Structure 1
Amino acid sequence: MESRKTKQEVQQRYNGAVKRRKWEDPPEDPEAVKNFDPASRVKRRKSIILLGYTGVNYFGMQRNPGTKTIEEDLLRAMQKREWINDEGFRQPQQIQFQRAARTDKGVSAAMQVVSIKLPDNLDIEALNSELPEDIRVYAVKRVTKGFNSKTNCDARTYTYTLPTIAFAPNEEKVDIQTYRLPAERLARVNEVLALYVGTKNFHNFTSRKEFLDPSVKRFIMSFECDPPFLPEGSTAEFATIKIKGQSFMLHQIRKMVGLTIAVVRGLAESDIIEKAFGQERYGIPTAPGLGLVLSRIHYDKYNKRYGEDGCHETLEFEKEEPMIQEFFKRHIASTIVETELKTNSMVEWLEKLPLHSYEPRDESEPSEWKPRNRKASDDQDDDDE
């Protein structure tokens, strides 16, 4: 039989001494006082940072030790301006840091959203002065305590800008500076893009995914190509493809664009797209990453629930739209065009495209799907183009 608790133990529990930590004032030791960081206990509120960046010079959004990433530069700038303390810089999860989408190497973002706990009255201009020109913070907004920029996101919109020579027939010898996309070929491009709209099985449009894996089913809301345009100061014609979906897997959009180009150029039959949604395994060509841009993050459900409660702002970003468009035009769109004309990344990719095989691969039949063990950093089910 257990012995009864002493009167002292009961009194301690009643007073909360067992469970509660006693508040500790800053240390009185002169050296310790000198090193004491008052920001470490500043009241922080759940917020979002709205930002854009040019990804050409970066190895993606997500922080990765030893590589140049958007998050590394952003966190370092926030540390310098005391938006976060040293612990927050070392372990961002301690301040509930979460990106809405994980962009891959070379991919830019006209709009990216990060949720994080921040103090009030922050100086955005001062933060931007610490950031390179490739990254720009547009705004900071308060959100609900439980807000998560990734899980509260309803959809993402990406754009892919490319020279229209990509849609020329493969047998034609054309020049990037003089080729002009006829209206009927633009219509053909949109006809092919429409085949992706709806809920499809995209196991062939990413890596390390099986047909029976539930996560490979993705909902594409729209996919279309805008009319071509001539960038300022260039004779080469470009066009922009826009795609909106709930979420995307690694390389998914670039593979969708790559296969579309192959079909439009006559290197593959149209039915290859429908076949790729099926069980057989196909090797899908991956278009270059240069033209891909995260264009919009959508929070429709959040806005409907909290946008009119009088306490929270809607996350529609109409006020910030002029800044977003200015940054996109000056830093992202111009960089895509200049880099393409300088490096010929699309033209060189097109030269290799005829060597690609569109026949099904000889692989064993898929067995019952089993979840694989994944590291905490392996977010492939994330939006991570």
Structure 2
Amino acid sequence: MILRLPFSNRCSPVLSRIHISFISELRPSKSRRFSYSVLSKYPMAEDDVQRPTKRSKIEHGPSPTAATDNGMQNDDDPAMARESEASSAQALSKKAEKGKRRDASGWAKSRRGKETDKKNVGRKRRGTRIDEASAEGGEGAGEGGSVAPKGPRYPKRQCALLLSFCGTGCSGMQIQPNARTIEGVLFDALVKAGAVSEDNADDPVKVNLARAARTDAGVHAAGNVVSLKMITARPDVPDMLARVNEELPAEIRLWGYVRVQNSFNPRTLCDSRKYTYFFPSYLLIPPRPGSNLMRSLQKYAEDSDTDPTSTHPFWAGVDLATESLQDTLTRKRLWRVPSEQVDKLRSIVNKFLGTHNFHNFTIGKEVNERSNFRHMKAIEIADPAVYGETEWISVLFHGQSFMLHQRKMMAALVLSCRTGAPDSIINELYGNQSVLIPKMPSLGLLLEYPIFETYNSKVANEINKNLDPSHEGYRPPIDFEIYKEEIATFKQTHIYDNMRKIEDEFGIFDAWIRSVDKYGGDDLLYLNHRGVIPPESVVAKGRRRENPFKEHKRFDATAFPSDAKDGAAKAFIKEDEDSGGEDGVDEVEQQLSDAEG
């Protein structure tokens, strides 16, 4: 449409040609662009022409939509129509040449019909069949080539998987590159069973794989929860649960899976977790007379009235100079803890209840970090029980969450009890002073199961309120008690028996306690009879320690060479001051970001 407006000679020459563009909203979802040309019958003089600036829209010519929209041209003026058509063609030509510039009216250009640029070529969906064909140069790799046909597609459902595992021989729970992990073995079994499609087999992130509790290397679990989007029904797999277990090794069992909401995350929705630690009762025997730890504690307690560690009955009447390590270990396994010492254990462990700053019971954490605060709901110490020749004690921890290497709690419990330190030392360890607490061996640690009380209550009272269990929207609770008998059998066969067998053959706990007694520096002087932390044992940044305590990494292992068979005399666990070392912060920085149990 061409509008002719009368202008006087006194009008500014700039107004001789004006392009007006606006958008008329015809419908909420559609819009149409109109362009009008306002012409003056008085042409501008050449000297009056205003040259456009670099960013002026005039240099782009009239909007191309002015010529392309039906009914927008003026049939009464053919010359003007031809001029408008030529301007539009010129604008379209510039538009094709300068694809990244804006159009004549200043509107952002549409990418429709443009060639795909070569930027971000790596941001494609990983693991698709098309990508694999392109990489291999096979059929369908080039332009016009056909892509290999995909298999049948089955619906995926967000599910929570309930499983148990023996962590021996695995580098922890979470998937790691180039390492055997529990999640890695489980995911491979799900792929082979058909619960995870081939399109998603290369990356667990595609199926939202997550876990309730991350366990350290070698740590066992009687119960843990893994969630992912999985295929629960296939016509060629009559029993998906049985099919997955066929692909799993005997030390990893999947007990069942339940449908959960799509937003389900087992780590964030887990209310609390239960861990059990087993240790031989002979760890409570006081340090060997003449050992470096005994001398350090005696030297610090010279002005103290009591020192019960000097004349313990276990060490009395024995020629310690001629007794071998194997003979000492045999006597230790036949020793039975007195009831008063078990009562002392229970008195000390009560100091862990409640919310405290556990910065001294992990590694790589500053004193003032909020994540150091954890809540212990309940702690139970069972009566000692004899298995074979060795007496064992189990401690059950029920906490809201646990940090990396928080089995240091067990070391503080055992070491303070065997050295006669008062239970008030536990309160001192919550303070602002940093000290070194050794880690107990990984062999005795067991994750019982995570607890989902809040989630189970929500699905029962809100989601399942008016639904029958057979309804598609029904969500079952996450409950390990359903598989209580099967889990008990699994624990006895694959965890307890394996744990005791390794201890009987290698004497791991005895080697660990001897490494503690061999230390003669100042780092463990807080195990004194006063219940205070002396300045000598405080670990501070920038302060050089003359004789720092060394953590031996071999005590983090739960699998050992099968060809070493001479009890505690095995070279694998012999004392070696040069082996191991303290865990550095750099080694665990990535693990600390997922402090979830």
Q: Same fold (TM over 0.5)?
A: yes
Kept in 2: contact 1:272–1:358 (CA 8 A): no
Q: What is the Cα deviation at residue 37 of structure 1?
A: 3.3
Listed as ranges, the gaps of 5+ residues in structure 2 are 1-19, 33-111, 113-128, 131-138, 234-238, 289-313, 316-327, 468-473, 527-536, 543-584
Aligned AA (2:596): D
Identify the residue that residue 184 of structure 2 maps to in structure 1.
Answer: 72
SS in structure 1 of the partner of residue 158 of structure 2: strand
In structure 2, the residue matched to 1:45 is 157
Cα distance in 1 for partners of 2:497, 2:24 equals: 74
Partner of residue 339, structure 1 = 502
- TM alignment of 1:74-93, pairs within 5 A: 74-93=186-205
Q: In the alignment, what sits opposite 2:240?
A: 123
Report the Cα distance in structure 1 between the residues aligned to 2:377 and 2:595, rounded to whole angstroms. 17
Contact 2:174 2:183 in 1 (8 A): yes
User: Matched residue of 1:169: which SS?
Assistant: coil
Alignment partner, residue 293 of structure 1: 446
**Structure 2 SS opposite 1:83:** coil
Deviates more, 1:284-293 or 1:313-322: 313-322
Are 1:382 and 2:595 an aligned pair?
yes
- What is the match of residue 263 of structure 1? 416
Task: State the distance in 2 between where 1:157 and 1:338 align.
Answer: 24
Identify if the C-alpha distance between structure 1 residues 194 and 170 changes in structure 2 by more than 3 Å, giving closer, same or farther: same
- Determine the structure 1 residue equivalent to 2:427: 274
**Counterpart residue type for residue 382 of structure 1:** A
- TM-aligned CA deviation for residue 313 of structure 1: 1.1
For 2:149 and 2:411, locate their aligned partners in 1 and report how far apart those are by CA, in whole Å: 55
* Kept after mapping to 2: 8 A contact 1:283/1:358: no
Does residue 243 in structure 1 map to residue 360 in structure 2? Answer: no
Higher relative contact order (CA 8 A, sep 6+): 1
Once structures 1 and 2 are overlaid, which stretch shifts more, 61-70 or 170-179?
170-179
Deviation at 1:87, TM superposition (A): 4.4
Counterpart in 2 of 1:135? 252
Q: 1:200 maps to which residue?
A: 356
- Distance between the aligned counterparts of 2:199 and 2:346, measured in 1? 49
Indicate if the aligned counterparts of 2:284 and 2:337 stay in contact, CA closer than 8 A.
yes
Tell me the TM-score normalised to structure 1 length: 0.85
Query: Which of 348-357 and 202-211 deviates more?
Result: 348-357
**131-140 vs 262-271, greater mean Cα deviation:** 262-271
Asked if the contact 1:207–1:250 (Cα under 8 Å) also holds between the matched residues in 2, the reply is: yes
Equivalence for 1:22: none
Corresponding residue of 1:210: 366
Distance 1:293 1:89, change over 3 A: farther
**What is residue 324 of structure 1 aligned with on the other side?**
487
Deviation at 1:79, TM superposition (A): 0.9
Q: Deviations over 1:122-165 (max 9, x none)?
A: 52111111111111111111112211111000000000111111
**TM-superposed deviation, 1:211:** 1.1
In structure 1, distance between residues paired with 2:192 and 2:374: 40
Residues in 1 aligned to 2:370 and 2:439: alpha-carbon distance in whole angstroms: 23
Q: Identity over the aligned pairs, expressed in percent?
A: 29
Match of 2:455 in 1: 302
1:67 Cα offset (Å):
1.3
Q: Which residue of 2 aligns with 1:363?
A: 540
User: Residues 59, 381 of structure 1: CA spacing in aligned structure 2 closer, same or farther, 3 A cutoff?
Assistant: closer
* In structure 2, C-alpha distance between the alignment counterparts of 1:376 and 1:92, rounded to whole Å: 23
Which digits, 9 at most, give the CA deviation of each residue in 1:219-247, with x for residues without a partner?
0111221111123xx12111211001000
Q: Is the 8 A contact 1:268 1:358 kept in 2?
A: no
The structure with the larger Rg is 2
In structure 2, C-alpha distance between the alignment counterparts of 1:268 and 1:56, rounded to whole Å: 34
What code does the residue aligned with 2:285 have?
A
* Matches of 1:381 and 1:194, distance apart in 2: 27
- More divergent stretch after superposition (353-362 vs 179-188): 353-362
Q: How many Å separate the matches in 2 of 1:191 and 1:88?
A: 52
Q: Contact conserved, 2:436 with 2:539, CA < 8 A, in 1?
A: no
In structure 1, C-alpha distance between the alignment counterparts of 2:221 and 2:31, rounded to whole Å: 55
Distance change in 2, residues 1:325/1:82 (3 Å): same
| Whole-angstrom CA distance in 2 between matches of 1:376 and 1:272 | 29
Paired residue secondary structure (1:177): helix
Q: State how far apart, in whole Å, the 2-side matches of 1:190 and 1:362 are.
A: 28
Q: Which residue of the partner structure matches residue 267 of structure 2? A: 150
Contact 1:55 1:109 in 2 (8 A): yes
> How has the CA–CA distance of structure 1 residues 178 and 144 changed in structure 2, closer, same or farther, with 3 Å as cutoff?
same
Query: What's the RMSD between the two structures over aligned residues?
Result: 3.1
Shift of 1:358: 3.6
Q: Provide the secondary structure at the position in 1 that maps to 2:446.
A: strand
- Name the structure 2 match of 1:369: none
Matched, 1:191 2:347: yes
| Secondary structure, aligned partner of 1:265 | helix
Instruction: Compute the displacement of 1:323 (Å).
Output: 1.3
The TM-score normalised by the length of structure 2 is 0.56
Distance 1:32 1:224, change over 3 A: farther
Cα separation, 2, equivalents of 1:47 and 1:382:
23
In 2, are the aligned partners of 1:124 and 1:137 still within 8 Å (CA)?
yes
| Alignment match, 1:21 | none
- Equivalent position of 2:215 in the other structure: 103
Q: Which residue identity lines up with residue 152 of structure 2 in the other structure?
A: P
What stretches of structure 1 of length at least 5 have no aligned partner? Answer: 19-25, 366-371
Q: 1:362 to 1:79 in 2, by over 3 A?
A: closer
- What is the identity, as a one-letter code, of the residue corresponding to 1:266? T
What is the CA–CA distance in structure 1 between the aligned matches of 2:507 and 2:22, rounded to whole Å? Answer: 81
Contact map agreement 1:229 1:237 (CA 8 A) in 2: yes
